[in-house]
A and B are shown apart, each in its own frame.
Chain A
């Protein structure tokens, strides 16, 4: 049962303990002498003296009291396996348990953690959006274009690299884009745009001024104003540097949230959820601002923004109730249609394209694209 007894060295079992002096791994059976300080003596050698107030408990298995001493070598250990002797030593050492993480220490950890969380939330909600808004316009055009080129290569790899440029259609497209660009107050060098042949009905702007219109959206459009509204929306993104802002914002938040909180309690999915919540609200705001540009530009040209809302509605259908609206990166299509309809004035300017130009634009990818109307 007891090591000490097995060793057979000792008669007075109650006063013996195991001692490791921290300089070697030798297991010493020692006698404890309770004087002014704790005396630890081994076979008549000069005893080590441990001041009671310096003695601290360290980890040990159940049934063993293991202590160290602040004024002794750091790894010197005394092990007592006898309950009475343990009690004797415990009663003399007032500060035995000071090593342990007590309730107050845990409370401190919790308090500081909450403070850290609050500060991170503040940074994510206020500081990063502010930084993104201020920094995005300062990013040099050349750098922005580089980022744009990088994503352009990827996008062409995904959607195919088929640029539509039948001359008549291209001329109409350039004319339409030119009018919108001027009305939006952007320079000629700011914008390059082309039509990509893919059935996906979409359009987007890349950092550095690249705007892509997918032929799928042309197929669904019924008049030039619909396409003009969408293009004006994308120009709005360029004007507000939304890509750079989004990049800085997304990069900042995911970096902060992800790296600081690490992957604990399997909460990475939770982090992902909360991050998409804040970034979605941020991008909804950007979309709304781009819609504002559409409204301004169309009014300036004497046309109505309403057709764009109608085109979007035709593409997406009613969105409310289908997904979680606060997770959506765009405002709901019906809300956008509603807003565009409210801004609907009777046309005061000339049509943006002649009927012939409109037909040519719809056929920019070849006649097949027109001949294949899709539901």
Chain B
């Protein structure tokens, strides 16, 4: 897997550019991250390639914006109409947005998949975003009704839908992992979760173990034709990563606290106390205070973004890859190229609705 310092430099520079461009650089940063991860993912000795570009994501986002604006206006209007009859009756509208978000997730996956190339042949996807969306909503209800116990069945059903509509050239995908298997391995975490929420230091352990279990189950269910994927990811594989993120988070917060203390000290040196005078002087002071707060806050956010991308994106992916075996790869040795490129509109929706993956 590619050089770690290269990735660290990439995301650090990307975070700084995101700041300078008020976030517009995110399309190119997401692209750069994917290009790095894909190019360093080797299957049977050959690396994958990500062929998407930041410009596509930007255009997809602008189109999505043009469609979302009228939808938001209609949403606003319907909200007013129903609130007249019953207070907080507009709540079900949130459901409509949830469904739209699921649609966006499906279409965004289609974009990413059609930009994924291995041995000169691209992956692609058919199926319908709306068909996926109503499945996700109904299964979501069921999960809520069962207090989360039905989660394995939801994930298996949705993954089956996604994988059966995914192809590598003319090789069709499938998902064969049994939800009961996932339930058997993970029900303990369901029991442990309430305790972990009360006894907070337990939480990262439980969550990291659950995530590793989920990844292992998911990967082991993936099929393309006769090609099988198998994962031997140990349950504790992610625990260290999550604790490292928490450690960095505490360190950064501590640094921010010191920074604020120093700022406040300097401010009181200049003016002799913060809360005394009123009038224009007070306004100047509160502007200064706001500016220093914003700078400190931004620095913290940028640092944490880098930390999260390095540990929970790259390192996590490396860990996952180390425990993956691909069986019967020979079935993919002579696959004919098929499938068309999808537009980045789905990614745009996902971005506009805040459901974007990486």
Contact = CB atoms under 8 A, between A and B. Distances in A.
Contacts of A79: 46
Interface string B282-316: 11001101100010011001101100000000000
B146 interface: no
Contacts of B54: 101, 109
A325 B283 contact: yes
B294 A75 contact: no
Interface of A: 3, 18, 20-27, 58-62, 64, 66, 75-77, 79, 101, 106, 109-110, 112-114, 116-117, 146-147, 149-151, 153-154, 156-157, 251, 255, 259-267, 269-270, 273, 277, 320-322, 324-327, 332, 334-335
A22 B26 contact: no
13 contacts: A18-B46, A27-B46, A59-B36, A59-B49, A75-B121, A106-B28, A109-B21, A117-B21, A261-B22, A265-B15, A277-B290, A321-B275, A322-B275
Interface stretch (B76-84, B157-165, B181-189, B255-263): B76-84
Nearest to B278: A320
Interface of B: 2-3, 15, 17-26, 28, 32, 35-36, 38-40, 42, 45-47, 49-51, 54, 65, 68-69, 72, 76, 79-81, 83-84, 86-88, 117-122, 168-169, 274-278, 282-283, 286-287, 289-290, 294, 297-298, 301-302, 304-305, 332-337, 351-352, 354
Contacts of B42: 61
Contacts of A153: 83-84, 86-87
A24 B351 CA distance: 34
A101 B53 CA distance: 10
A149 B79 CA distance: 12
A59 B286 CA distance: 49
A154 B18 contact: no
B282 A22 contact: no
A198 B346 CA distance: 49
B72 A264 contact: no
A265 B119 contact: no
Contact of B276 (A3, A116, A321): A321
Contacts of B40: 61
B119 A25 contact: yes
Interface hub of B19, B117, B287, B304 (most chain A Cβ within 10 A): B117
B148 to A, nearest CB: 25
Given A61-B42, A321-B282, A262 B354 contact: yes
Given A20-B120, A61-B39, A154-B83, A117 B334 contact: no
Contacts of A22: 120-121, 337
A59 B48 CA distance: 9
A298 B23 CA distance: 50
